[in-house]
Structure 1
Amino acid sequence: MPPGTPSTIGDHLVLDGDHLSLRFLYLSCTCMYGQFPDALGDMTSLQVLDLSDIYYDCDYQDDDKNMRSMTMDMKNLCNLEVLNLRCTLLYGDVAELFRNLSRCSPNKLQELDLGWNHLTGMLPRWMGQFMSLVVLNLGWDYITGHVPCEIGKLSNLTHLDLNTNKLDGTITEEHFASARSLQYIDLSYNALKIEISSDWQPPSTLEYVYFASCQMGPLFPGWLQWNVSIAYLDISSAGIADRLPQWFSDAFSNVEFMNISNNQLNGTLPANMGSMSLQELYLSSNKLTGKIPTLPPNIMSLDLSNNLLSGLTGHSVVGSANLKSLSLFSNRLTDHIPESFCKYQQLVVLDLSNNFLEGEPPLCLGVTKYMEFVALSNNSLSGKFPSFLQKLTNVHFLDLSWNKFSGRLPVWIGSLTSLGVIRLSHNKFFGSIPMNITNLSCLQYMDLNNNKISGSLPIYQSYLKFMTNTSMMACYDSPETIYFDLNSLSTVWKGQELNYGSIQRIVETSMTSIDLSSNDLTGEIPEEIVVLDKLVNFNLSRNHLTGVIPKKIGEMRSLQSLDLSRNMLSGEILATLSNLAFLSYLELSYNDLIGRIPSGVQLDTLYAEYPSMYIGNISLCGHPLQNNCSSEHHAPKQCGLGRTEEGYGIPFFYLGLGCGFVVGTWNAFGVLLFKRNWRIACFRLSDKLYDKVYVVVATWARARPTQTD
């Protein structure tokens, strides 16, 4: 049966003479319930039995009712050469399973795949009697204990996969004593210690070597230099605290994939890396220093992030014109971004964040039309919004935050229709938000905080379809690109700037966020904003927004964090806020909200955790505040005198006194004609000078009743 064709076998298999003579039985990707049919044990002619992937989803931890043990009697299957039970919900003791398979003599089994199951127990020492084994896969199980030395007797074994189990103990030369055919070995993600002498020369020619998260250090494993046929090498997170050896480039000249990330490698990169055959190189999270040398000519993916590299010169980018991923974030790179980067016209990922780069990005970067991820944050880059981005119509992720960019946001930003994440925070952008930014139907994360953006919020929010629960859009045509190891992403979340995790997590979880805080936005919050019912984080704090909270805000049922503080919002707090069942952070402080606070368990719970959420609104009353509701609590106060030093400021002391005097006098005589104009004038005065004078003004204001008496 072709793979991917579902069928139901049931709990039994009806056999006749023709079935008994079957030599090849492929039931991969079928729907099998209950235990394996006992009738399979009577098919004495079987040479190949493939029951792999009987469920399309191997994530079966909570599906215990469908777990099955290997109870089938296999003593008659002495002609069996291939047994594939990968991902079949198989459980039980792995030693018992080997004992069941060992009853035939001689044993003809050549391929045994039991990976992605729930097998437990220890590997038996007598497994060395399976002398015909060529492929042994026990990866992604729950096997414990040591790896028996007898596994080294399997002289015909070419493929050994024990990755992601719970194995421990020490691996020595004895485990490979007679393994003269071994080409593929994967012991990754176990608690194993690899103790092999640097002078030991393996009897086989290894091609695929995976020891990720095994303890191999602190010295660089010298015995690998004798394996000149290695094409794929992963010794990441292996506790290596050493320099790259002098023989590195020569011994690994044939390696195509290399991952030595998450170690403590120090010193410089080899100067002769240009002679290597590397296509993918991952050396992130080490302590490498110096300049980046000439790159291998076939390089397609390079990750040197989280090191101490200081040089980025023109010859550093010599290499394959087919380079697709370049991650150099969190180093000490200085100077300008070299124009020679423009040679990489196939570049998909460019991450230069967290360095000391300066100047304007080269305009020629626009020739790399395949670019999907651009991360330049936390540098000293300057100039206007980079015009080369206009040509990157495939860009999904754009991060220019924490730089010195200035000027207006271009109108053509609305033509980047694939854009899903845009971060422009902590720059000097000014002017209004282009109205056509709502054309970005794939947008799920927008952060413009800490700029000088002015004007009103754009309307037509319903065009931001990815932020609505009614959307069934698939915005990522090539999902494999999101797995590049990009810089992590932070956001203002619950009043603090927190690291939300990797870019991959943002994309996979569809985390939606809009942060426009700490700008100069004016006008009202458009009622249409409530259509964004998929929005999780919404932050409009520290602006000059007026009007009331949207009446239907309770329809934004996905909201977890809502911050409208430090604005000029008026009106009452809506009872519909209690409908936001997922809301875990609410900040409404330093506005001009009035009236009784709505009752409800949701708001009471939030107040208990964030008791400052209503502060600075002197006309609010009722539970949970101490001031009872009365007629005086329903009249809005003038000039924002209810705000503390955290609110909006007054630039001149005498102007503050003037506002207070006018308000006190006009309240006494009931003159309220120009109330709104004075309030706006007071609110828009400078924050910085306000800190120095507000205490005096507030003291004077509180003293007015006594003086009047």
Structure 2
Amino acid sequence: MFTGRVPNLSSCSSLVQLSLDNNTFSGTLAESIGYLSQVRSINLASNCLEGLISEAHLFNLSKLQLLDLSLNSNLTVKISSFRNAPFQLERLWLESCKLGPYFPKWLQNQKKIEVLDISYANISDSVPDWLWDNIHMCEFLDMSHNKLYGVVPDLSSMYNLMIIDLSSNQFNGSLPLLPPAINTIKFSRNKFSGPITNTCHLRNLYVLDLSNNLFSTHIPQDCFINLMSLRYLNLANNNFSGEIPNSIDSPCFVSSLHLRNNSFTGEISRSLKNCNKMTILDLGENKFSGKIPDWLGESMLELAVLSLKSNHHYGRLPSSLCRLQNIQVLDISMNKISGTIPKCLKNLTILCSKIDPNFVSHRFFIYVDAMGFYHDSAYIVWKGKEAEYTKILRLLTIIYLSNNNLIGEIPHEVTSLIGLIALNLSGNNLVGNLNFLDLSKNNLSGGIPSTLAQLSHLGVLDLSFNNLSGKIPWIDHLQTFNASVYMGNPRLCGPPLVLKPCPGDKTPVGNVDETHNQEHDNIFNSKGFYVSMALGFIVAFWGVSGTLFLNKWCRITIGKMLVCVEDWLYVKIMISKNRLKIYLENC
């Protein structure tokens, strides 16, 4: 890997191809690169270049066909419009370069473009009409992650177009007509609306992502059948309605199906039984109903993410779910599931072992063709927040069965799921008392959750010798355990760890008992204490004595007792006096 500045290559006048990509070249690019009059291809992608690229760098490159400056996030490309362009580019990659805020007008003279990537380019503008006319030969078009707006025109005449990515912009209106050869459509995170029938009969389509738009339309059965032949279908976060076709004879090639947060109805379709390559199935937050079918755990053995959350499913959890040996995320929360938790959970192979963070898994890659692949993603609730996870999805291992009608005890087999990082069973009718919890001598990390105190029956707790950190929650139940429960966690602090106060504690943890004693001393030193004590004595004395003296029999009895006591004291005093006198005389 090379570092430093890009060398001065002006003396290499016969150079045809310059490839310095995937290095760490830094600094500005010298204008002398414009003297490479024979160069046809310049690739400086994935470096650390900065500064400005202007027409001065390109004025003499009449044979230039390929220019790749992508993934140089500090590089600004500002080229004045050439009246007569010295070159006609066929392939142009400027991903992550600074082109905006206006759409680059110098592209108006480029009419042979086959590949155009101006994604992540800080452009906040409408797409000029001339661009759509100029790219009629385009095969690959990526303008994603800008702030482009407007209506996309009819693109059906772009016969060579195979991949189009306009995601994360502000395009609106209906979907454009697209050419029959297209295989990838990524229009997510825009403001598209209206019908999607334009996409239903594209025979070469592999990837369709219309998620996070403003669609509110019914999807016909015949359209759904055709869409099930895709490899990747994402309609999430819209307001689509309809039912998944229930034809068991329909072929299914989908490996990733995202229908979450729509208004789909009906039962889980039997047509999904044929999707034996499915890795992600997200039907959450819809209006699906019925029982979870047994075949779900028998046909989709490659399934890694299954989300049926927030629907109207009922019945028992089928034991066939335990055959999903590759499952990493299982979310069936917020339904009406009843019965007990299956004891066969120990058969979930992936969850029974820890995932190696250094292991590169390809199970969440969506392969399209020779143009490359895409990282799949899924919406997961983690630490109370829902977010879309992409690259770290392979590290998540989660089971959510919360807010159902589950009964019985938590099966002991759950303890075999040592790879699990989150288990949520809240909001059910589970029974049993957990009075012994020993998690010592593991590699647990993070803070101690305050919800642990809700285990009010817990009599024995051992969290020692882990990697826990932060302040021990100041909750009565957790404070009843002694310091040995938390020992061996160097980054834990706070009581009952007497010698490890947390930073910012006003009262040192080691002085808790002293503080308690000082509070008692303050009570004894107050005037109120002595006044109340005197009043209490007076009230008690006269309450008892007054009652006795008002009774005649008690008064006589007490008088006789006092006379006897007086005589006894007199005799004792006289005897002691005589003994003392004799002792002194003998001395």
**TM-score, scaled to structure 1:** 0.62
Measured against aligned partners, the alpha-carbon deviations of 1:210-243 in whole angstroms (never above 9, x if no partner) come to 1111121222223323322221111001122222
- Cα 1:613–1:210 shift into 2, 3 Å: farther
Residue 334 of structure 1, aligned match among 189, 196, 216: 216
Separation in 1 of the partners of 2:283 and 2:57? 52
Asked if residue 396 in structure 1 is aligned to residue 279 in structure 2, the reply is yes
Give 1:182's aligned residue: 64
Which SS does the other structure have where 1:302 is aligned? strand
Separation in 2 of the partners of 1:622 and 1:374? 48
Give 2:392's aligned residue: 505
Measured against aligned partners, the alpha-carbon deviations of 1:172-217 in whole angstroms (never above 9, x if no partner) come to 2221122122121111122222222345443223221011111212
Give 1:630's aligned residue: none
Deviation at 1:247, TM superposition (A): 2.5
Check whether the contact 2:364–2:376 (CA below 8 A) recurs between aligned residues. Answer: no
Separation in 1 of the partners of 2:457 and 2:137? 69
Separation in 1 of the partners of 2:117 and 2:348? 42
Asked if residue 168 in structure 1 is aligned to residue 56 in structure 2, the reply is no
Give 1:159's aligned residue: 41
- Cα 1:613–1:156 shift into 2, 3 Å: farther
Which SS does the other structure have where 1:192 is aligned? strand
Q: RMSD over aligned Cα, in angstroms?
A: 3.0
Check whether the contact 2:108–2:130 (CA below 8 A) recurs between aligned residues. Answer: yes
Residue 460 of structure 1, aligned match among 344, 350, 355: 344
Residue 380 of structure 2, aligned match among 483, 490, 502: 490
Residue 406 of structure 2, aligned match among 518, 521, 530: 521
Q: What is the one-letter code of the residue matched to 1:394?
A: K
Q: What are the equivalent positions in structure 2 for 1:351-370 lying under 5 Å apart? A: 351-363=234-246, 367-370=250-253
- Cα 1:128–1:476 shift into 2, 3 Å: closer
Asked if residue 428 in structure 1 is aligned to residue 292 in structure 2, the reply is no
Check whether the contact 2:331–2:400 (CA below 8 A) recurs between aligned residues. Answer: yes
Check whether the contact 2:447–2:468 (CA below 8 A) recurs between aligned residues. Answer: no
Give 1:540's aligned residue: 425
Which SS does the other structure have where 2:225 is aligned? helix
Which SS does the other structure have where 1:342 is aligned? helix
Residue 451 of structure 1, aligned match among 324, 332, 335: 335
- Cα 1:514–1:225 shift into 2, 3 Å: same
Deviation at 1:267, TM superposition (A): 0.9
Deviation at 1:141, TM superposition (A): 2.1
Deviation at 1:446, TM superposition (A): 0.6
Separation in 2 of the partners of 1:206 and 1:604? 57
Q: What are the equivalent positions in structure 2 for 1:5-84 lying under 5 Å apart? A: none
Bigger relative contact order, structure 1 or 2, given CA contacts below 8 A and separation 6+?
Answer: 2
Give 2:538's aligned residue: none
Percent identity (aligned): 31
Which SS does the other structure have where 1:522 is aligned? strand
Check whether the contact 1:133–1:157 (CA below 8 A) recurs between aligned residues. Answer: yes
Check whether the contact 1:295–1:318 (CA below 8 A) recurs between aligned residues. Answer: no
Which SS does the other structure have where 2:67 is aligned? strand
Q: What is the one-letter code of the residue matched to 1:575?
A: D
Check whether the contact 1:294–1:318 (CA below 8 A) recurs between aligned residues. Answer: no
Q: What is the one-letter code of the residue matched to 2:410?
A: I
Separation in 1 of the partners of 2:465 and 2:118? 53
Give 1:212's aligned residue: 95
Check whether the contact 1:347–1:368 (CA below 8 A) recurs between aligned residues. Answer: no
Q: What are the equivalent positions in structure 2 for 1:642-653 lying under 5 Å apart? A: none
Deviation at 1:359, TM superposition (A): 3.0
Check whether the contact 2:440–2:465 (CA below 8 A) recurs between aligned residues. Answer: no
Runs of 5+ consecutive residues of structure 2 not aligned to the other structure: 484-587
Separation in 1 of the partners of 2:187 and 2:294? 35
Separation in 1 of the partners of 2:338 and 2:53? 64
Measured against aligned partners, the alpha-carbon deviations of 1:440-486 in whole angstroms (never above 9, x if no partner) come to 11111111111111111112223211222289999967955495355
- Cα 1:167–1:267 shift into 2, 3 Å: same
Separation in 2 of the partners of 1:541 and 1:589? 14
Q: What are the equivalent positions in structure 2 for 1:39-438 lying under 5 Å apart? A: 117-120=1-4, 122-124=5-7, 126-190=8-72, 191-319=74-202, 321-338=203-220, 339-344=222-227, 346-363=229-246, 367-415=250-298, 416-438=300-322
Deviation at 1:594, TM superposition (A): 4.0
Measured against aligned partners, the alpha-carbon deviations of 1:253-293 in whole angstroms (never above 9, x if no partner) come to 11111110011111111124443421011110000001102
Check whether the contact 1:514–1:538 (CA below 8 A) recurs between aligned residues. Answer: yes
- Cα 1:255–1:309 shift into 2, 3 Å: same
- Cα 1:345–1:335 shift into 2, 3 Å: closer
Which SS does the other structure have where 1:305 is aligned? coil
Deviation at 1:145, TM superposition (A): 2.1
Deviation at 1:599, TM superposition (A): 6.6
Which SS does the other structure have where 2:314 is aligned? strand
Residue 459 of structure 2, aligned match among 580, 591, 595: 595
Separation in 2 of the partners of 1:623 and 1:462? 34
Deviation at 1:491, TM superposition (A): 1.5
- Cα 1:609–1:367 shift into 2, 3 Å: farther
Separation in 2 of the partners of 1:584 and 1:236? 40
Check whether the contact 2:445–2:466 (CA below 8 A) recurs between aligned residues. Answer: no
* TM superposition outliers: structure 1 runs of 4+ over 6 Å: 470-475
Check whether the contact 2:366–2:376 (CA below 8 A) recurs between aligned residues. Answer: no
Separation in 2 of the partners of 1:159 and 1:458? 61
Give 1:575's aligned residue: 438
Separation in 2 of the partners of 1:346 and 1:371? 6
**TM-score, scaled to structure 2:** 0.74
Separation in 1 of the partners of 2:360 and 2:20? 36
Separation in 2 of the partners of 1:183 and 1:390? 49
Separation in 1 of the partners of 2:397 and 2:77? 44
Separation in 1 of the partners of 2:98 and 2:251? 41
Separation in 2 of the partners of 1:146 and 1:591? 62
Deviation at 1:358, TM superposition (A): 2.1
Measured against aligned partners, the alpha-carbon deviations of 1:502-537 in whole angstroms (never above 9, x if no partner) come to 2x4313x3x211111121111122222222222222
Give 1:655's aligned residue: none
Check whether the contact 2:3–2:26 (CA below 8 A) recurs between aligned residues. Answer: no
Measured against aligned partners, the alpha-carbon deviations of 1:345-384 in whole angstroms (never above 9, x if no partner) come to 6410000111111232344698352100000111122222
- Cα 1:475–1:366 shift into 2, 3 Å: farther
Deviation at 1:301, TM superposition (A): 0.8
Measured against aligned partners, the alpha-carbon deviations of 1:384-433 in whole angstroms (never above 9, x if no partner) come to 22332122111100111111212211111112111111011111211111
Separation in 1 of the partners of 2:282 and 2:324? 16
Check whether the contact 2:355–2:419 (CA below 8 A) recurs between aligned residues. Answer: no
Check whether the contact 2:440–2:464 (CA below 8 A) recurs between aligned residues. Answer: no
Comparing 322-331 and 358-367, the one that deviates more? 358-367
Separation in 2 of the partners of 1:367 and 1:285? 33
Which SS does the other structure have where 2:121 is aligned? coil
Structure with the greater alpha carbon radius of gyration: 2
- Cα 1:535–1:481 shift into 2, 3 Å: farther
